[in-house]
Amino acid sequence: MHFPAFDDFYQRLLFLLPFAANFRSTDFDYKSPERWPEKYPHCGGSEQSPIAISRHKVISLSLPPLVFALYDEFFDELVTVKNSGHTVEFQVPTTIYGVRPYVTGGLLQDCYDAEAVHFHWGSPESKGSEHVLNGRRHDLEMHIVHRNTKYLNLQEAFRYRDGVTVLAVLFKVVRSGPIFYQPGLTEIFHSLLHLGNFNATYTVQERLTLGSLLGSLDRGNFYTYKGSLTTPPCSPVVQWHVFGEVLPISHQDLPKFWNIRDERGRPLLKNFRPLQSQENRAIFHRQHTVPLQQEHLQELIWL
C-alpha cells in the first residue's frame, strides 16, 4: 500500500528534524552554566560574554557616534511580550516606514536591524546584570539584539563573526529621587504582571518606539568589544555595546521580574551567565569628551 501524502509528510519531517534540533537552544539551565559546552561547544570557546569592564582597563577612543535610525519612529503594530522560560522578550516590529529600526556607526561596518529585546535579572537577594561595570554588578540588564542586514535571519547571522550587535543597558534600583521618564519601559515593566507563566504573552496596548526604551540615556557614551551570545549556542559573533550610563528602575518595577516562572513553574531568578575571561581582547570606550585621535583610531580599526 502506498500513501503519497503520508510519504510526503514523513519526508518533510525527516528533512526538518535536524533543523529543529539545531534551532532548539532552549534546553539549558542557569543552575549549571559550566555544563553548557557539553551540548554547545562555543560556550567553552574563546571571545565569550559577559565580561567585567573597568574604566581603568579600556582604550578611550574618539569613535564616531552610533547612529540610531528609526529608533524614534512608532512601530506599525503593538508589541507582544513573551515569557520564554529563560527571559521575557519581544520581537521588534517594523516601524511605520515598513522597516525595523537599525544601528550603524561606531566600529560597525554595516547596518544592523533591531530584532528582539530581552532582559537579565537577579533575585530579591542578589543583583543580576550580566556585564559588571567598574567592579559593580547592577540590578538588571536589557539587551537589544540586532542582525547584520547582509544576513537573512538571526540563525544565519549566528554563523558569521560580524553577524550580530547587541546594545546593553544596565539599570540600578532607586527608592526615591528625581522622576525619570522612560514611557516604553514603563509599559514593558507593567506587562510582567501578566507573564508569570511559561509561554505567557501580553500585548502592550500603547504604541511604542524602540527609543522609548532608552529614555534619556546618553547614547554617546558606550563601551564596545568583540564577544558572544550569553546564552547557548554562545556563538562568538557579537559586537557588544554596553552603555556607560546606568539607568534607574523603580523599587516597584524591579520585583516584577522575580514573579516570572520557568518551564517547570519554578521562579526564574538570576538568569545571567557568569563572567567570562577577557583574554587579550580590547575594550574601547567612546565618550564625547575624548579629543580626536584619528590616526590612532585608524591603526586600531585595522587590528
| Binding stretches for Zn ion (CB under 5 A) | 143
Q: CB of residue 118 vs Zn ion: minimum separation in angstroms?
A: 5
Which grid cell is 236? 562568538
- Integer Cα distance of 114 and 142 in angstroms: 13
One-letter amino acid of 36 = W
Residues assigned a catalytic role: 86, 151
Q: How far is the CB of 291 from Zn ion (least distance, A)?
A: 34
63 or 147: whose CB is closer to Zn ion? 147
Measured distance CA(70)–CA(283) in Å, rounded: 27
Position 267: which residue type?
P
**Residue 112 pairs with which residues in a beta bridge?**
103, 148
Shortest distance, position 170 Cβ to Zn ion, whole Å: 12
Smallest distance from Zn ion to CB 77, Å = 23
Nearer to Zn ion by C-beta: 127 or 143?
143
Sheet of strand 136-137, all strands in order from the earlier edge strand to the far edge: 52-53, 132-133, 136-137
Please name the helix (run of DSSP H) or strand (run of DSSP E) that holds residue 109, with its range, or none. none
Single-letter amino acid, residue 294: Q
Instruction: For the CB of residue 302, give the shortest distance to Zn ion in the complex, in Å.
Output: 30
| 29 sits in which H/E element | none
Position of cell 509528510? Answer: 9
CA distances from 184 to 21, 100, 173 (A): 35, 16, 17
Alpha-carbon distance of 128 to 134, in angstroms, equals 15
Amino acid at 287: Q
Nearest residue relative to Zn ion (C-beta): 143
DSSP secondary structure string for all residues of 238-281: EEEEEESSPEEEETTTGGGGGG-B-TTS-B-----PPP---TT-
